[in-house]
Amino acid sequence: MTVKEMMPFSEKSYNLSCCDLRLLDNENVGAISEVLASMDPWLTLGYSSDNLSKYLLSDDPALLKYDIVVLEI
């Protein structure tokens, strides 16, 4: 088994039958942060969309950040 095969989520995107899983990019962070800030647990914890954006844009080699794009059927 190669190192790449051992690493989960080693690709930039994955095409699934109902959606695409894509590495999170700067273009989508604002919209995602707005949605997350309006729902629990982030709403109850008082996270703002700005704070969530900063977190999602931060570089952390221990985290893999993807967004899910639902495909039209």
Domain boundaries, the chain: 21-70
Mean pLDDT calculated for residue range 27-44: 95
User: Distance (Å, rounded) from C-alpha 26 to C-alpha 16?
Assistant: 22
Q: Which one has a higher pLDDT value, 65 or 44?
A: 44
Residue 2: per-residue pLDDT: 56
pTM, to two decimals? 0.70
Mean pLDDT calculated for residue range 44-63: 92
Mean pLDDT calculated for residue range 10-30: 84
Q: Is the pLDDT assigned to residue 69 strictly greater than 80?
A: yes
CB proximity list for 42: less than 8 A, separation 6 or greater:
36, 52
